[in-house]
Structure formats: structure tokens, C-alpha cells
């Protein structure tokens, strides 16, 4: 019954996480052994509470195929974007109108304006599922994506009042960004890959070197203009899901590649609102609504979830099959959280 389990990542997962990183080498999961080791260490200390400030915590979840004995997906929550030592950097996309009564000419310009914040939103990201598992009938991709909102519902006070997701735009076959070549390279004298590697540690150089005034998009090459705020082919499914649960494009983009930022108020996110928390009650096998059922653990990996049929008592108890109850390792009456998979 338990083909898949979602749990907190641990340092023992380093080799398999490197395999995932090879499929999508991003800031949240770079294909670099030292970086992956650091990410897993921070995640473990975040789940355990060893990092006391929740704004500095970064939670990495892994989706494990128990039949194959391998990790097939991952996702991440960053407690807060932006700190004094590492500001949250972005480009706002602004519409500006110009009119000359002398010439009777009217123009509508798109303008990019650099912005930063030291106390930004919570971020969801790092979503990777191996290609052969993306269309699995068990909805493996949905599980590893939804678990982030389930965890936020379980621990609402640890997260900011807004959540942002940065989606990848269309990129060149070698992973280069048209926008970076047209803008970023001109002000940093760095290639996209060089800047991307540096940004994994700190994006301060963007704040310091990018133009402080407005950049008119019409002055950029057409191929750079066309990627601003656009979603790449591989992330269109993520965009559709985000819109469905309450996120909207917020006219803000990544300064490296022009990828759009989607934002939602945390308490308005459909999946956060829909999560049901209550005491666990084991029952005989039954047909019920399919849901992710999760619990915190006192020891590593500190969090575990699996897919299960569920029902809810009138008193709010979460009814789960006995084998699911045993698998999660909870005591009868201990709180679990369930989130419907649909």
C-alpha cells in the first residue's frame, strides 16, 4: 500500500539529491556536492528546531519510492526571503504612460525597476520530480508539491503572511537567459552561469551593480523582451496549480532570467485553508477521500507523510486505516494533518 512516503531530508540523502539536482540545476538545488551537503544540513537543523529563528529555516522534503528504494522528487520551503546580510532582490514590472500634446502621441511603456526587501515573504521552490514519475497514477508530483502547504498549515506561526513562488522562464538550450545577456551581463561583467553560482550564496551584487533608475523594456532586444514574466514550458503545470489554489502573477520578476513571481496571502491559499488537523483514529480498511496524512516525529527525519484514504468524525478526528496509522508511527489520539489530493 505504501509505495511513496514524503519525509524530511537528511544528510544521508546527499548522493540521491545530487541525482535530482542534475535534472534541474537551480539556486534552490544546485548540482554541486558541497552546496547539496549544506542544504541538507540546514534542512535537518530546520526541522529539528536547532535553527532557532524560523525566518532562517529552510525545509527540504523528499519523495521516496519505497518499492524502488530511491528518492524520486523533492520540494522546499524557505522561511523568509531577505535578511540584512542577504536581501531579497527583484525587478518590478511597471506600466508607464507618456503623452505629448504637441505631437498628439501617446505611448505605453513597460519599465523594470530594481527593488529589494530585508523582510520578504516565505518562498516555496525546489520542486523536482524525475521525468518517469511525473505522470504516475499515484500523483507523485502532486504529493511532493502539496506537502509544502500541508506543512505550512501544521506550523502556520513559523511562516510569513505572504508566500511567493519564482517560476522559470523560457531559457536557451544551454540554460542561458536572454534577459541576463541583455541586462545583467552589461552591469556585472559576468556570464549567466558565473552570476548564478555566486547568487547561490548572496545576491547583494545585483543590488549594488544593477542600474538604480528605471530600465525601459523597449530598449532591450526583442528576445529579452519576450521572456519577461513568461513561464517556461516545463513549469506551465506548476503555474496552473498555483493559480488554482490562489496565487497570482504580481508583476515582479527574477533579475537574472525574467522568470515571474507568483504571490498569495498565506491564509488565503486554498490548500492551507483546506488542511484538516485532528486526533488520529485507526479503523479497519475503508474507501474514503484520498489525502496526504502527515505527522511530526521526535527524531530524524522529523516529518513523515503518506497518501491514504481518510474520513473525519463529527468530533474532528481523522480516521485512517490501521496500517497507515502504524506506518506513520503515531499514538492513538495524537494529532495528524490531512490534505485532500485532487
Q: Residue 23 pLDDT > 80, yes or no? A: no
Looking at residue 86, its pLDDT comes to 84
pLDDT tier for residue 288 given thresholds of 50, 70 and 90: confident
Q: What nine digits make up the cell of 101?
A: 500634446
Among 274, 290, 319, the domain boundary falls at: 274
Rounded to whole angstroms, how far apart are CA atoms 275 and 220?
A: 45
Domain count, the chain: 2
Give the global pTM. 0.93
- For residues 24 and 196, the answer to whether their CB atoms sit within 8 Å is no
Instruction: Confirm whether 208 is domain-assigned.
Output: yes
- For residues 287 and 270, the answer to whether their CB atoms sit within 8 Å is no
Rounded to whole angstroms, how far apart are CA atoms 182 and 202?
A: 22
Q: Residue 104 pLDDT > 80, yes or no? A: yes
What's the angle, vertex CA 192, arms to CA 190 and CA 197, rounded to 5? 90
The answer to whether residues 220 and 289 belong to one domain is: no
- For residues 229 and 168, the answer to whether their CB atoms sit within 8 Å is no
The answer to whether residues 281 and 265 belong to one domain is: no
Rounded to whole angstroms, how far apart are CA atoms 35 and 39?
A: 6
Q: What are phi and psi of 52, to 5 degrees?
A: -70, -35
Instruction: Confirm whether 239 is domain-assigned.
Output: yes
Q: Residue 192 pLDDT > 90, yes or no? A: no
CA 170 to chain centre: 18
The answer to whether residues 324 and 268 belong to one domain is: no
Among 225, 255, 274, the domain boundary falls at: 274
Q: What nine digits make up the cell of 126?
A: 525546489
Rounded to whole angstroms, how far apart are CA atoms 216 and 228?
A: 12
In which domain, by residue range, is 296 found? 275-303+310-340
Looking at residue 152, its pLDDT comes to 98
Looking at residue 198, its pLDDT comes to 82
The candidate with the shortest Cα–Cα distance to 263, out of 246, 276, 278, is: 246
What pLDDT, in 10s, does the model give residues 146-180? Answer: 999 999 999 999 999 999 999 989 888 877 889 99
The answer to whether residues 287 and 324 belong to one domain is: yes
The answer to whether residues 270 and 323 belong to one domain is: no
Q: What are phi and psi of 271, to 5 degrees?
A: -70, -30
The answer to whether residues 239 and 190 belong to one domain is: yes
What pLDDT, in 10s, does the model give residues 112-155? Answer: 999 999 999 999 999 999 888 877 767 888 999 999 999 999 99
**Mean pLDDT computed over 269-296:** 92
Instruction: Confirm whether 324 is domain-assigned.
Output: yes
The answer to whether residues 226 and 102 belong to one domain is: yes
Rounded to whole angstroms, how far apart are CA atoms 195 and 11?
A: 27
What pLDDT, in 10s, does the model give residues 211-244? Answer: 988 999 999 999 999 999 999 988 899 999 999 9
Cα Rg of the chain (Å, integer): 22
**Mean pLDDT computed over 272-293:** 91
Looking at residue 339, its pLDDT comes to 97
**Mean pLDDT computed over 56-75:** 95
The candidate with the shortest Cα–Cα distance to 16, out of 74, 75, 58, 78, is: 74
In Å, how far are 1, 144, 288 from 235, measured between CA atoms?
A: 30, 15, 31
Rounded to whole angstroms, how far apart are CA atoms 36 and 13?
A: 9
Looking at residue 58, its pLDDT comes to 97
Could you tell me what percent of the chain has a pLDDT over 90? 71
Instruction: Confirm whether 76 is domain-assigned.
Output: no
Instruction: Confirm whether 146 is domain-assigned.
Output: no
pLDDT, averaged across the chain: 92
Looking at residue 1, its pLDDT comes to 58
- For residues 248 and 240, the answer to whether their CB atoms sit within 8 Å is no
Rounded to whole angstroms, how far apart are CA atoms 71 and 74?
A: 8
Instruction: Confirm whether 41 is domain-assigned.
Output: no
The candidate with the shortest Cα–Cα distance to 296, out of 280, 283, 285, is: 280
The answer to whether residues 185 and 237 belong to one domain is: yes
Q: What are phi and psi of 139, to 5 degrees?
A: 60, 50
- Strand 260-265, strand 162-166: pairing: antiparallel
Rounded to whole angstroms, how far apart are CA atoms 29 and 78?
A: 12
Amino acid at each position: 500500500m505504501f509505495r511513496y512516503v514524503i519525509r524530511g531530508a537528511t544528510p544521508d540523502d546527499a548522493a540521491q539529491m545530487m541525482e535530482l539536482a542534475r535534472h534541474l540545476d537551480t539556486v534552490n538545488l544546485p548540482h554541486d556536492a558541497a552546496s547539496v551537503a549544506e542544504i541538507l544540513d540546514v534542512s535537518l537543523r530546520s526541522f529539528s528546531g536547532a535553527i532557532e529563528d524560523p525566518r532562517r529555516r529552510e525545509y527540504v522534503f523528499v519523495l521516496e519510492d519505497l518499492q524502488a528504494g530511491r528518492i524520486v522528487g523533492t520540494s522546499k520551503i524557505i522561511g523568509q526571503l531577505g535578511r540584512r546580510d542577504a536581501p531579497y532582490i527583484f525587478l518590478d514590472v511597471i506600466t508607464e504612460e507618456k503623452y505629448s500634446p504637441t505631437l498628439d502621441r501617446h505611448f505605453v511603456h513597460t519599465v523594470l525597476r530594481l527593488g529589494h526587501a530585508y523582510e520578504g515573504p516565505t518562498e516555496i521552490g525546489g520542486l523536482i520530480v524525475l521525468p518517469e514519475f511525473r505522470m504516475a497514477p499515484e500523483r507523485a508530483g502532486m504529493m511532493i508539491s502539496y506537502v509544502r502547504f500541508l506543512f505550512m498549515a501544521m506550523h502556520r506561526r513559523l511562516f510569513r503572511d505572504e508566500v511567493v513562488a519564482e517560476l522559470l522562464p523560457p531559457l536557451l538550450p544551454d540554460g542561458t537567459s536572454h534577459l541576463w545577456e541583455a541586462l545583467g551581463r552589461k552591469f556585472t561583467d559576468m556570464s549567466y552561469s558565473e552570476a548564478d553560482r555566486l547568487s547561490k550564496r548572496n545576491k547583494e551584487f545585483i543590488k549594488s551593480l544593477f542600474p538604480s533608475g528605471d530600465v525601459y523594456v523597449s530598449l532591450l532586444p526583442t528576445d529579452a523582451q519576450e521572456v519577461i514574466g513568461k513561464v517556461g514550458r516545463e513549469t506551465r503545470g506548476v503555474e496552473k496549480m498555483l493559480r488554482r489554489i490562489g496565487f497570482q502573477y504580481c508583476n515582479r520578476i527574477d533579475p537574472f532570467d525574467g522568470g515571474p513571481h507568483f504571490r498569495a496571502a498565506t491564509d488565503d491559499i486554498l490548500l492551507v485553508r483546506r488542511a484538516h488537523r485532528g486526533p488520529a483514529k485507526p479503523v479497519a480498511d475503508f474507501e474514503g477521500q484520498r489525502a496526504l496524512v502527515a505527522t511530526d516525529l521526535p527524531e530524524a527525519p522529523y516529518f513523515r507523510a503518506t497518501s491514504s484514504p481518510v474520513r473525519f468524525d463529527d468530533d474532528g478526528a481523522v480516521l485512517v486505516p490501521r496500517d497507515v496509522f502504524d506506518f506513520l508511527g503515531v499514538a492513538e489520539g495524537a494529532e495528524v494533518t490531512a490534505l485532500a489530493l485532487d
